[in-house]
Chain A
Amino acid sequence: MYVSVKGGEQAIDAAHTWQAALRRGDAAVPEVSITQLREQLGLAVDRVMAEGACADPELAAQALKQARGDTTEAAFLLRAYRNTLPRLGASLPMDTGAMRVERRISATYKDLPGGQVLGPTFDYTHRLLEFAAPIAAPPVEATEPAAAMPRVSDVLAREGLMARDAPSDAEPADITRDGLRFPADRSLRLQAMARGDEGFLLAMGYSTQRGYGNAHPFVGEIRIGAVSVEIVPPELGFAIDIGEITVSECQMVNQFAGNAEAPPQFTRGYGLVVGRNERKAMAVALVDRAQRAPELGEDVKAPAQDAEFVLYHCDNVESTGFVEHLKLPHYVDFQSELEKLRSLRARWEAERAS
């Protein structure tokens, strides 16, 4: 019971006990282990990892279990934990061109160096429930690609058809340290979206396809796989490899920009997400391109093009917090509203009577 005025402490304890019991479910059914979640609900784990902004599948699986499968709650748990970790340094830019690819597809070229690698995917499955228990899956090992896989955006750039993004050695913004500031540069926007809510970004990306943002996108390339992370410890002065993380990268090719200074050419929308999450990488790439509107001299008219609108609202830890805070007590404010309303009504009635 939502006890009024006093007795809150007992109520909270009882509620949490009940929640814990529901989380466990029927005690006659074996409890799932964190390892099982990590191995068998990998995409949920990856989503939590991305939105929780912490590349650690083990912790993400733990958060998912603790949150009863609520991915937003789990991302929140993970965010809260990662916040307590020290920032020891920044990595060098990752070279996704040298990715150990498990999936790499291009929708713009039927064939290209390194080939199309379909990899593990739900694409082209028929969404029919498998009522019989699925057959045990034989183990599959990724085969090494026969040739190097240059990025499609680089291939286009070599011909001058793709606008090159200016390289920069400037220290990138760090959203985990400084929060958002506007105008937000591209690194900040991409960071915010990398940990933003998949559903929100999906809807924003989708809106650009439906006329709200004037997108003409092609998937130049999607690649998913393991990338080395390198750091340069100050005491060594050279780069060392500290391990690999799995990321999803999408490069959207967009039609004709071009103005007085630049010839008509393709421009890029870019999305990079930690873990296997191609849907979100694609959505981020769409929104990234939409948000480049001011830089490319396009009108900013649609929600997805409005960086402030998108970035302030894409963080589900922030948005769930504020939306759900509405269930907290607001007795005091509401009381003053009540009094105000009574006063206004009295005035209205008096005026009407006169």
Chain B
Amino acid sequence: MTTGYNFAYLDEATKRMIRRALLKAIAVPGHQVPFGAREMPLPYGWGTGGIQVTASVIGSDDRLKVIDQGADDTTNAISIRRFFARVAGVETTESTTEATIIQTRHRIPETPLREDQVLVYQVPMPEPLFKLEPRVRESTKLHALAEYGLMQVKLYEDIAKQGEVATSYNHPVIVDGRYLMSPSPIPAFDNPKMDMNPAIQLFGAGREKRIYAVPPYTRVESLDFEDHPFRPIRAPHACALCRSTESYLDELITDDRGGRRFICSDTDYCAQRQRT
């Protein structure tokens, strides 16, 4: 960075404010903590919450990985990675194992995370109930009372009407048996990875000005019913590049006559497998 900006863009007082919100979020897993989100030099909805969280926890000896849709080479991931390289001068990496902080949009890496890693999620809508109750004052009350019947009824109605739950991503979870939480728009396939994860999981929503967290080794259960258990979905194919039948796949259209192929959405995972 040339001049005029602090390390990692935010001033130290702002970082302190965000760290306080983060500590509270970790102390009350899954609870949304309001914070004074700042205007960032990237637009709202493009990861400003995640960027502010990352900017508040990053140090000069960190190695940052940024993914969007699982990939390091998507334009917004590149842009955010460049931003931190520019304003914090930190080392960046595409390797999940080498990274100390991973900022993500819409995916959890396939490679299992460790205790010394932090996963920062970009969150568009922190409130899991907003489609059922858009008024924040009301939804806050519902959280305070742990009154999540609305969501159960919604899932029940899906099943009654369509035979299955209609959410394929952003499937709501219960954290540590208490708070209903949006996992951010990750595919339901990724939900189980949140459960008892050794890494710290931090969630930043810039436009809505909320932070929440899942501390290491915390129970995270996807909302379901005993007779309709939660069912993560992936395309029933092997990756065309690394042949993985375990990973989450992107669908590519190859022509306009119905041709398509499937490849891993996690580019680092796929590249590792192709090397070995």
A interface residue numbers (CB < 8 A to B)? 109-113, 118, 123-128, 148, 150, 154-155, 158-159, 209-212, 214, 255-256, 258, 264
Contact = CB atoms under 8 A, between A and B. Distances in A.
A264 B250 CA distance: 22
Given A109-B253, A256-B166, 14 more contacts: A110-B250, A110-B252, A111-B253, A112-B253, A113-B254, A118-B75, A126-B79, A126-B82, A126-B86, A127-B41, A150-B256, A211-B131, A211-B132, A264-B162
B134 interface: yes
B236 interface: no
A22 B257 CA distance: 60
Contact of A124 (B78, B86, B131, B250): B78
A126 B256 contact: no
26 contacts: A109-B250, A109-B253, A110-B250, A111-B252, A111-B253, A112-B253, A113-B255, A113-B256, A123-B75, A123-B76, A124-B76, A124-B78, A124-B79, A126-B41, A126-B82, A126-B86, A127-B40, A127-B41, A155-B253, A155-B256, A158-B256, A210-B125, A211-B130, A211-B133, A255-B166, A256-B162
A126 B83 contact: yes
Interface in B117-160: 125, 130-134
What's the dominant secondary structure at chain A's contact region? loop
Interface in B250-275: 250-256, 258
Contacts of B41: 126-128
Contacts of A112: 252-253
A110 B69 contact: yes
A211 B71 CA distance: 29
B252 A158 contact: no
Nearest to A147: B255
Tell me which of A110, A118, A123, A127 has the highest count of chain B C-beta atoms within 10 A of its own C-beta. Answer: A110
A256 B130 CA distance: 18
Interface string B102-122: 000000000000000000000
Contacts of B255: 113
Nearest to B73: A110
A109 B262 CA distance: 11
A109 B251 contact: yes
A210 B130 contact: yes
Given A210-B125, A211-B134, A212-B134, A126 B42 contact: yes
Contacts of A109: 250-253
A203 B41 CA distance: 21
A59 B40 CA distance: 36
Contacts of B75: 118, 123-124
Contacts of A150: 256
Contacts of A211: 130-134
Contacts of B125: 209-210
- List the 5 closest pairs (A to B, CB-CB), nearest first: A211-B134, A127-B41, A124-B79, A211-B130, A150-B256
User: What is the size category of the interface that chain B forms with chain A?
Assistant: 20 to 34
A255 B75 CA distance: 25
Contacts of A210: 125, 130, 134
Nearest to A109: B253
Contacts of A256: 162, 166
Contacts of B133: 211
Contacts of A113: 253-256
A128 B3 CA distance: 12
B77 to A, nearest CB: 10
A128 to B, nearest CB: 5
A210 B251 CA distance: 28
A181 to B, nearest CB: 31
A125 B79 CA distance: 7
A154 B258 CA distance: 11
Tell me which of A123, A128, A158, A255 has the highest count of chain B C-beta atoms within 10 A of its own C-beta. Answer: A128
Contacts of A264: 162
Nearest to B77: A124
Contact of B162 (A155, A158, A258): A258
A126 B76 CA distance: 11
A148 B253 CA distance: 13
A255 B162 CA distance: 13
A212 B134 CA distance: 7
Nearest to B71: A110
Contacts of B258: 158-159
A104 to B, nearest CB: 14
Nearest to A211: B134
Contacts of A255: 166
A303 to B, nearest CB: 11
A258 B251 CA distance: 24
Contacts of A111: 252-253
B270 to A, nearest CB: 12
A209 B258 CA distance: 31
Nearest to A116: B75
A265 to B, nearest CB: 12
A264 B162 CA distance: 9
A214 B253 contact: no
Contacts of B251: 109
A4 B79 CA distance: 59
A256 B42 CA distance: 32
Contacts of B83: 126
Interface string B37-50: 00011110000000
Nearest to B134: A211
A218 to B, nearest CB: 10
Tell me which of A125, A158, A211, A255 has the highest count of chain B C-beta atoms within 10 A of its own C-beta. Answer: A211
B162 to A, nearest CB: 7
Interface in B160-200: 162, 166
Interface in B52-73: 69, 71
Nearest to A126: B41
